[in-house]
Chain A
């Protein structure tokens, strides 16, 4: 066991640190400064750092990706690139399954953050059971005709393109329901495509329903083969999974909570001296550290060339639980002010109140904890399906 970086890795880390020291905008709220930063990280090829170089990526090794992410997160730098879903899964899918023309057309724009992509997987009757999806596409000459509905599509109203899963043929049986699913890349401005925002419980509207009525999608916008859609989307999620960015985000929130606990009183003394609060914060901190170390073990496996399987669900479950718990600690620390929209004071504002109404973004948005538990029980422990 060795937790040290090799000399080459150390050199890379120093390069990242120097870059941050010289270029990080002092005011993260200044759009011009952030744009300048985005241009510079792009020049370094640190946007899409893990992607192959012939796709415009940085060709970075797995360990270098982790170092880059970790240093950026520690410095609270703006995200590397601005096209969130494009960088997270659309781009990697295109890099792996796309035609040369598709790569040329989409990847540079994703790296440059020219516009947003959204993800059209879930449907009203197909959430956890995604493979049962019904949105239909029929090939007519040189294009598909799409009819059906998607739901919970994050940022659909601000996106220019969507990665869409459709059904192009009916499965022979329930066991084969993953067959007959096809992946299409669809322009949101297409005729017959309608977006209706959905208001969430915090009061904002970030996701939407998307309706397709005879929407024509050119056949050259099919990603992968017909009927291969399930594989295309699943394998896109199989790149680096150290959870580094998530761990750093959780750590930041934990630090804020500790400060908050020292600054408010419970029963006439700082909440940070309350044994109950201390224990909850310590439990959360320990779980975050377990997540970080789990991530390093997964990473080691990847570095040795072994494919990662369902064990990443372990960290997804930790993250879901922590996302809820940190919000709860945050509002509980405020005592009677915990239920006020704006919170106890200007310093803390309503940050934790928002958090305590926003956790479903993480906990439900990426697949629910129950489904992660089923994955562990069935795929790792070998228990029969119900």
Chain B
């Protein structure tokens, strides 16, 4: 048994942390968050050159060919820095194309995503807010060898920044009636509406399809939604580890320095104990995420259950950490200028995407035989 990272993975972590510390501190994060697109094209280019954008794309398609465990290392660090970029969205969409597409489709779409020259995002959830095939109602009407798409997608990550949408649509009843297609964002009939998010570092939007034509060649070979959702959820949860640790570290530092009643407030057990609980929670959902990533890489039968446990635990724990970290700061924690609020807002964003604790605990119960 070896539940730890390799030397290469440790090096990757160091490299990512160093780059982000040097190039994207929270002052920079705030600046980028205030821009309309919400990411820095310059930093995007640099991280593409560093190989982060293509980390999990197959080598044959221009990527580094690494797995979800490696991705977790990268995303823990981008989460810690609250790094605003379409990295998470584009990695998930590329994984969907990699999992569901034919080799020919991979050759066409993935190299551009691997080198960062184009950005993709998954367009899956609709007004019903149901994850999985049962939530896909966007209609695909047969049109030559392809389809005409009509309907609306919601909560599409980086909708306004994407060049390609990986869209789920329905051609018939049941789970088998769902297809995935790759559609350029400038295709005729697409309308994108940005929906402001509490978390300025994460962008979401609605995407309307009004009779958008998709060629048969751009419909992916299969539509393994459950696997794609598990991959996406695990990736998102990896970012929660770093962000929750960032919030905890900020609070620990503050409570060591802030003096009330003649001593550092960290000396009071009422302050120590919630901080200790933060540590217990982060360490625990971290283990769940690491295991889930391994299970996904191995296509282990336990993968879905592991992913849901990780996301469920992380959703509740990070939300609590966000709130407690504000409380433990007192007045300064409530201010815009101070960084604690950035983590609180990230915790709300992360909880709400790809299923919250209620959703995933329900899935844990079902998969556990209840």
Contact = CB atoms under 8 A, between A and B. Distances in A.
Do these two chains really belong together in a complex? yes
B102 interface: no
A337 B351 CA distance: 11
Given A199-B336, A341-B196, A268 B128 contact: yes
B270 interface: yes
Contacts of B260: 126-129, 132
A198 interface: yes
Contact of A339 (B267, B323, B327, B352): B352
Contacts of A122: 331
B198 A373 contact: no
A200 B335 contact: yes
A364 B352 contact: no
Interface in B330-351: 330-331, 333-337, 340-341, 344-345, 348-349, 351
Contacts of B125: 336
Interface string A359-377: 0100110001110011000
B358 A125 contact: no
B268 interface: yes
Given A265-B129, A360-B326, A370-B268, A338 B352 contact: yes
B129 A337 contact: yes
A370 B358 contact: no
Interface in B214-265: 259-262, 265
A337 B204 CA distance: 10
**Which of A126, A339, A374 has most B Cβ within 10 Å?**
A339
B335 A363 contact: no
B155 interface: yes
Interface stretch (A183-191, A246-254, A327-335): A327-335
Contacts of B327: 360, 363-364, 368-369
B331 A364 contact: yes
B213 interface: no
B155 A336 contact: yes
A274 interface: yes
Given A200-B335, A336-B129, A364-B327, A341 B352 contact: no
A128 B264 CA distance: 12
A332 B129 CA distance: 13
Nearest to A360: B334
**Which of A331, A340, A374 has most B Cβ within 10 Å?**
A340
A151 interface: yes
A174 interface: yes
A339 B349 contact: yes
Contacts of B134: 268
Contacts of B270: 370, 373-374
**Which of B155, B334, B335 has most A Cβ within 10 Å?**
B334
Given A364-B327, A386-B268, A266 B196 contact: no
Interface string B145-180: 000000000110000000000000000000000000
Contacts of B198: 339-341, 353, 357
A123 B270 CA distance: 22
B356 interface: yes
A334 B356 CA distance: 10
B353 interface: yes
Measured as residues with beta carbon below 8 angstroms from the partner, the interface class of chain B is 35 or more
A224 B32 CA distance: 53
Nearest to B337: A199
Given A274-B358, A342-B195, A386 B269 contact: yes
Given A201-B334, A360-B334, A332 B261 contact: no
B197 A339 contact: yes
Contact of B196 (A268, A332, A342, A369): A342
Given A335-B129, A340-B198, A201 B344 contact: yes
A150 to B, nearest CB: 11
B271 interface: yes
Nearest to A345: B127
A7 interface: no
A232 B261 CA distance: 22
B323 A337 contact: no
A332 to B, nearest CB: 6
Given A128-B260, A339-B198, A340-B197, A277 B341 contact: no
Contacts of A274: 358
B300 interface: no
27 contacts: A129-B261, A152-B331, A174-B262, A198-B336, A199-B336, A200-B336, A201-B340, A201-B341, A265-B128, A328-B319, A331-B348, A335-B129, A335-B359, A336-B352, A338-B351, A338-B352, A340-B197, A340-B198, A341-B195, A341-B197, A356-B348, A357-B344, A360-B327, A364-B331, A364-B333, A370-B268, A370-B271
Interface of B: 125, 128-130, 134, 154-155, 195-199, 202, 204, 259-262, 265, 267-271, 319, 323, 326-327, 330-331, 333-337, 340-341, 344-345, 348-349, 351-353, 356, 358-359, 361-362
The 4 nearest A-B residue pairs measured at CB: A201-B341, A199-B336, A338-B352, A360-B334
Given A336-B129, A342-B196, A357-B345, 8 more contacts: A128-B260, A200-B334, A277-B358, A331-B352, A339-B198, A340-B195, A341-B196, A360-B334
